[in-house]
Amino acid sequence: MALSDVLKSLFEQTSKVNLVGYFCVISLFAFVVFHEIQNRDLWGIPGPIIARYTNAWRAWQAWQYATRPNGITYHEVLHNRYGNVVRVGPRTVFINDAEAIPRVLGFKQRLEKSDSIIPFSVPGIHTSLVGIRNEQKHAAYRRPIQGAYSLSSLKAYEPAVDEMINKLADILEKSAQRQSILNISSWCHYFAYDTIMRVTFGHPIGFLENGRDMYNLIENQARHVAYVRIVTQFPKLDYVLKKNPLYLAFKTHKESPFFVFAKSKIKDQLANPESEDATQRTLLSHFLYAKERYPDIVDDTQVRLYCSTNTLAGSLSPSRVLDLICTWLVQNPWAQDRLYEEVRSTGCDFPVPLSATMEMPFLEGVIKESYRLHHGSDIAIERRVPDEGLDLPDGRHLPGHMDAAISSPSMRLNPVYGANPGEYNPERWMRAKGESEEAFYERRAAMDRVDLTFSQGSRACIGKSFTHLELFKVVASLMGQFQFEAVEAPKRFSVPVKILRRDGNITITHRPTEPTPTSRETLAAATPGSPFEARTTTTPPPLPSPPFLLIPGVPNFRDIGGYPLATHPTTTTTSVRRNFIFRSAHPGRITPAGIAQLQALGLTTRYDLRSPAEIEEIRQKYPGVQAVADIPGVANFAVPLYRDENYSPERHAEKYAEVARGDGSEAFAQAYARILEHGGEAFGVVLRHVRDRAEEPFLCHCAIGKDRTGVLVALLLNLR
């Protein structure tokens, strides 16, 4: 019997329902086989079986763990079961390995963002800093407003933050006088939202004045966070739910009251330009200046996009971190006393200046611990693996065109945080009793290397310095004036307290000899669903005088941040940004502690101005010194001013000894003129770094960091 006859007979004897069933089974089998063959390069990576075929599974997990039962995230559950590298989707891997952070998020490879950014993008607009995939495009749109977030600009925003702190202090003062009960959680959010509005537009939006959620911004943002928490796990859902053509065709395009407010403020700014007083500048004025300077990139739509992204992103994390800080302080009165002692020891007035907060180690510990454990969105930081693939620290190779994600919710529990990383313990950020300075620096550097509060690399949050400014100042100012007395057990977004005015004495006497850490389970009970993220950040210190940093084994190490730039009528930034350009002598004797400190500074690149001849001389004469220092994670580029000449300090002195007369100024003038004549190529490399890689801190050095390095720095300080 022919095969066709057999099949015909089979179909005639089988019902249509069964045929459909057979078809589905065969189709499913074919899908599985095809999918396994297509993704055979991921067979060795463990993970749930269903995750091999669909991202829907991890979206479901994100929804199930949205409230963080007992403070646990689904990231932790996965890594505890399957290890540090887990396959969570057809082409997605979660990584819980600190050594993988620079490989995935670092400056070297500059991996593009994955499809996880889709829920953050606006239909038809692809220039949001959050939603741009390509690194070069992101840099092009970030560069025009970089100066608005520099540390020199930051100082100009401090009076605006002071204004909002005074408003909040007045509210707490009235509550203390009336002996009323106040939900401190709500006021934390009101303060954060009004502060970012004040700094962006020049006026608060009315949260503090009215004591309520204006334009439903807080409620709408909470909904958006809940949405992206799930949809970023399965980005195609966003096309179905919010970006499909049918939805957009029938959607009523009505602007929210907030965006109407934002447009009106931009219009007012254009009609009434601000004065040239730097202390009165707003972020909006910087954005409008960027529009003038970069007309091909920044138009009116982009200005509105900068404003909206800044206000929404710049209110979410500070409000939730401040909420967690106050929740923990209410539960730990001894910590309030300790902060009060720290603030009072400075003898400063209120609001506390940012410079004074740099001398408060316990305050720093409280804020850093809250960064690490605050209620985030449980979203891993995903990047698209390049064509050539990506080698992981454990030796495994990830193929190209898949997504590698650093599991930030799990990284918060990294062993570098010491014993019991799930507990809230500010003292882990402080130097322990009996701990050497070198050991402390190494320990802190290790924690900073797994810091994902503001991400890392070129896509690190542009507004992190402002968040530091806001939080350090407000916590210090409130703790120096008030006590928070718990009325009932805190809940999420509900922390009822009585406000007590400090009278100069410590009235809360209970203070344990050894602080009792608060576990994440306790915090989760206080703030159900309180997602903690393993994130910390080094707060920028004030400019030292002189500006030397003590890096073991590296003489003459300095940050040139804070030095004034050459003036120009249209220049808004008047000094060099802190923590960007460093100078030093040759780091050939750098110690492990010194390496840890340089890594903690975020250095990505080192430019060596020495000649090959003098490097070889060091190699021959000083075997105990590294001729070219090896600093892991810091790329070294040889940019010699003199390729065929030994220009060591000794040879330099010999060459110009006969010219020196009197004070030797003529000799140095000739030497420096010669450096300028020969330095074009080398200096050009460094200048292009300043222009094109403004988010990558770098070090430039020669032999002793005086002549060649000094001339280069002089050029940098004369940029206009």
461 annotated ligand-binding residue: yes
Burial grade of 538 (CB within 10 A; 0-12, 13-18, 19 or more): middle
Task: Specify the pLDDT at position 41.
Answer: 81
Task: Specify the pLDDT at position 647.
Answer: 60
Token pair 């806001």: residue: 470
What mean pLDDT comes out for the span 15-22?
A: 64
Residues 589-620 pLDDT 10s: 888 878 878 877 888 899 999 888 888 888 88
The CA-atom distances, in angstroms, between 56 and each of 229, 232, 233, 256, 342 are: 13, 11, 8, 31, 50
Q: Structural domain boundaries of the chain?
A: 135-501, 558-719
Q: Ramachandran region of residue 653, left (φ > 0), alpha (ψ -120 to 50) or beta? A: alpha
Architecture of the domain whose range is 135-501: Orthogonal Bundle (1.10)
Beta-bridge partner residues of 597? none
6 contact partners, CB below 8 Å, separation of at least 6 = none
User: For residue 52, which of 40, 64, 65 has the smallest C-alpha distance?
Assistant: 40
The 3-state DSSP class for residue 424 equals: strand
At residue 332 the predicted structure's pLDDT band, cuts being 50, 70 and 90, is very high
Residues 469-528 pLDDT 10s: 999 999 999 999 999 999 988 888 889 999 999 876 544 334 444 444 455 444 444 443
User: For residue 42, which of 508, 454, 385, 427 has the smallest C-alpha distance?
Assistant: 385
Task: Specify the pLDDT at position 513.
Answer: 43
Task: Specify the pLDDT at position 39.
Answer: 72
Can you read off the two tokens belonging to residue 83? 């290890």
Task: Specify the pLDDT at position 543.
Answer: 38
CB atoms within 10 A of CB 669: 12
CATH of the structural domain 558-719, one choice from 3.90.190.10, 1.20.58.100, 3.40.50.300, 3.40.50.2300: 3.90.190.10
User: For residue 196, which of 483, 509, 463 has the smallest C-alpha distance?
Assistant: 463
645 contact partners, CB below 8 Å, separation of at least 6 = 611, 613, 651
What span, in angstroms and rounded, lies between the C-alpha atoms of 82 and 85? 7
* DSSP alpha helix (H) spans, 106-256: 135-142, 151-178, 184-201, 207-210, 217-231, 236-241, 245-250
Show contacts of 668-671: CB within 8 Å, 24+ apart: 671/707
Residues 378-421 pLDDT 10s: 789 999 999 999 999 999 999 988 999 999 888 988 999 998 88
User: For residue 334, which of 510, 589, 522 has the smallest C-alpha distance?
Assistant: 510
User: For residue 306, which of 148, 154, 455, 160 has the smallest C-alpha distance?
Assistant: 148
What span, in angstroms and rounded, lies between the C-alpha atoms of 455 and 116? 15
What span, in angstroms and rounded, lies between the C-alpha atoms of 501 and 484? 9
User: For residue 514, which of 356, 338, 286, 715 has the smallest C-alpha distance?
Assistant: 338
